[in-house]
Structure 1
Amino acid sequence: MVGEDTHFRERAPCGWFVRCIRHREDDAAGLLVDDVAYECGCRQVWHEFHDGSVRIRTVRHDGKVLVDEHSADHEA
């Protein structure tokens, strides 16, 4: 997998406008990782897996989980 980092400014999940780093990786076989780390400590992670399912997790800098979803989550 080849990774790529991008630096920019954006509104974080907490509402602050801060610098951040986006790290993206793709294995060309269906796995995609998009991870954004904000200067304030917030974090947003998006994974697309080989089976097509997607996991999204957003955590505010104080540790509060704002979003934690997985498209493959279901009751057995």
Structure 2
Amino acid sequence: MIRTSSPFAAERAPCGRLVDGRRHQENDDEGLRIDDRTYACGCRMIRHEFHDGSVRIKTVRHDGKVLKDEHSGNHEA
């Protein structure tokens, strides 16, 4: 599993503020990918891509309000 964590500067957070933050990524080379962004204001954007091809995206504002929580299943026959 490959893991990286790095800071980022001046990105638009889900609340609309332009803030710094930290990005954590993981990839297991078999289809699992995790991209987790935590903003200085407390907002988070989390994206998980699973082995079966489904994707979950969750966006949480700094006050805890969930702005988006979607999961797309694998629709292959």
Please name the residue that 2:4 is paired with: 4
**Aligned residue identity for 1:7:** P
* Unpaired runs of at least 5, structure 2: none
Instruction: Give 1:49's aligned amino acid.
Output: F
Structure 2 distance, partners of 1:25, 1:42, is 20
Give the TM-score normalised by structure 2.
0.90
Give runs of ≥4 in structure 1 deviating > 4 Å. none
Amino acid at match of 1:5: S
The residue identity in structure 2 corresponding to 1:3 is R
Match of 2:63 in 1: 62
**Superposition deviation, residue 66 in structure 1:** 0.4
Identity in percent: 62
Q: 1:34 aligns to what?
A: 35
Size of the aligned set, in residue pairs, is: 73
Deviations 1:17-59 (A, max 9, x none): 1111111100000000000000100000000000000000000
Q: What residue is the counterpart of 2:20 in the other structure?
A: 19
Q: For 1:51 and 1:70, how far apart are their aligned partners in 2?
A: 12
